């Protein structure tokens, strides 16, 4: 993978998960896939953490930067500043 993107890493992680769940890999290959999956999961977590930090920085209220918590389970725009 030349340049890793969040989407590409997530797709690869889903593929690895499917392969491991199928249970058809040897122990050695399973360990290799598991290790690769851990690395991809770490990368995805880092990307999400960076994105969250950027969103918090961009949310401005009354001329001051003020982080607004994001709850991914809520629908609508309740947490967006006006």
Domain count, the chain: 1
Is residue 41 assigned to a domain? Answer: yes
d(CA 6, CA 30): 23
Is residue 75 assigned to a domain? Answer: no
Is residue 76 assigned to a domain? Answer: no
Tens of pLDDT along 34-53?
999 999 999 999 999 999 88
53: domain CATH number is 1.10.287
Is residue 14 assigned to a domain? Answer: yes
Q: For residue 48, what pLDDT is reported?
A: 94
One pLDDT digit (tens) per residue for the chain, 82 residues:
446 899 999 999 999 999 999 999 999 999 999 999 999 999 999 999 999 888 777 776 656 666 666 665 444 444 444 4
> Is the CB of residue 15 less than 8 Å from the CB of residue 8?
no
Is residue 52 assigned to a domain? Answer: yes
Q: For residue 59, what pLDDT is reported?
A: 73
Is residue 43 assigned to a domain? Answer: yes
Q: For residue 25, what pLDDT is reported?
A: 94
Q: For residue 8, what pLDDT is reported?
A: 95
Contacts of 31 (CB under 8 A, 6+ apart): none
Is residue 40 assigned to a domain? Answer: yes
Question: Domain residues for 28?
Answer: 6-63
Is residue 12 assigned to a domain? Answer: yes
């Amino acid at each position: 993978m030349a340049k890793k993107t969040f989407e590409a890493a997530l797709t690869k992680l889903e593929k690895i998960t499917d392969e491991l769940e199928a249970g058809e890999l040897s122990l050695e290959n399973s360990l290799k896939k598991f290790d690769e999956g851990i690395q991809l999961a770490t990368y995805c977590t880092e990307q999400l953490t960076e994105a969250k930090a950027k969103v918090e920085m961009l949310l401005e209220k009354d001329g001051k930067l003020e982080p607004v918590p994001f709850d991914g389970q809520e629908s609508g725009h309740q947490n967006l500043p006006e």
